[in-house]
Structure 1
């Protein structure tokens, strides 16, 4: 990769990692402070400030924790994976990949699929976002890349791209199973009646 392209890629990765970290920090902060506010409101539910405290709790939980923070760190995580896939798009092992390495690749793909699917189940409208990510990026971009090179099923020929592609395929099955289970696109909290 030319030096200039590598510099741009490093900057894109650093920006994506920073977005991810900001989202994680906002999530932790909102999660921590919402419980303090909720506890204060519960001390005396009839106090004049209790309504204000409950509103503050709902605002922190809904706006900051569930929307701003979740989507910031999800966007950062997706962008980090984009930079990894782009950086290693042409990587092919110089030696044949053994059965143990192929098994590890598939296990890693399943683990990443579980991360994608579990995050989708937790986010507000996360199933829709996950399906868009899977179909648009996972299948249309990465899948097309592998199909054109006839490397979809030749495990280990492009391990990084295949890792992401296989992960998105497994995540699709899990997310689809969740949607069938809840009969829609509800996340975990919505499907349980709104209780965390």
Structure 2
């Protein structure tokens, strides 16, 4: 079998090139592990820094817009590294005449649209919120003269940023992760023998758990939604891996196990937060780093 498969039709021969070059390499598991670290790490950096480091100025707000520009390609590379995107994969119609590869591409595009729109709405709302907050700080009398300013601030801060933007952002991220789980559902990898590689692989799951925990703590009602999410996804995934005999293997289900690590640790992060705070409160309602 050559690197490109030829399909004979009644009128012409079409060469189909690999969607993601390099899948034929012996050690593309290493690339997947690197991507499983980089993708969540990039998102984590762009979500944690604005919370814990208060930098004033428009640059601090525009900084947030960069996140999806890099995180979306990284997540697509994870998807495209699956065997489904291999040239030798089955290209028969899967859904609505699309091959499984085509179906996953459409799935990812829809997920990316939600993710990018949510990220953009969230970041734009923050820009407007900070501008209004600065205006109120510099001219406090404006609230007395124009009480609608407080309504505008509430709209940008609560409705657009905390509710619509946050949850659209999170929904897109969830769709992306589900596309990974679906693409790798049957893929079996070599057992990880190297201790350093094993540590890096586990690290990817740990970083993902920090995103899950951080999102749950950050979003309104996020602790409840987060707990439900990790349980609904984590329990069936754990059962599936147990039935395949790969639950405790060293990376035989490289991507699926990485996500499971994230769900398990994310669950404990949320539970510890709820116990420490004394209820299902988000960060701002708990009065931690609230602004």
TM-score (norm 2): 0.64
How far residue 193 of structure 1 moved from its aligned partner, in angstroms, is 7.6
| Of 253, 262, 265, the match for 1:167 | 262
Where does the alignment leave 5 or more consecutive residues of structure 2 unmatched?
1-83, 85-89, 92-98
CA RMSD of aligned residues (A): 1.6
Aligned to 1:176: 271
Q: Give 2:230's aligned residue.
A: 134
Q: What is the DSSP-based 3-state SS (H/G/I as helix, E as strand, rest coil) of the residue aligned with 2:141?
A: coil
Structure 1 pair 160–38 and aligned structure 2 pair: CA distance change class (3 A): same
The aligned counterpart of 1:150 is 245
Unaligned runs of 5+ in 1: none
2:209 to 97, 110, 113: 113
Report the structure number with the largest CA radius of gyration: 2
Which whole-Å deviations, capped at 9, do the CAs of 1:63-109 have from their partners, x for residues lacking one?
0000000000000001100001111112212x432122221111111
Which sits farther off after the overlay, 80-89 or 40-49? Answer: 40-49
Give the Cα separation in 2 of the matches to 1:73 and 1:80.
11
Instruction: Give the aligned length.
Output: 194
Post-superposition CA distance 1:8-63 (Å, at most 9, x none): 11100111011111100001100001111222233332335442112201111000
The two structures have a TM-score, normalised by structure 1, of 0.93
Instruction: Measure how far apart 1:151 and its partner are.
Output: 1.4
**1:106 and 1:152 mapped to 2: Cα distance?**
14
CA offsets per residue over residues 90-137 of structure 1, 9 Å max, x none? 2212x4321222211111111110111011111001111111111101
2:192 match:
97
Q: Aligned ranges for residues 21-60 of structure 1 at < 5 Å?
A: 21-47=116-142, 48-60=144-156
The separation in 1 between residues aligned to 2:191 and 2:267, in whole angstroms, is 29
**Higher relative contact order (CA closer than 8 Å, sequence separation 6+):** 1
Partner of 1:20 in structure 2?
115
Greater share of residues in strand: 2
Runs of 4+ in 1 over 4 A off after TM superposition: none
1:9 alignment counterpart: 104
Structure with greater proportional helix content: 1
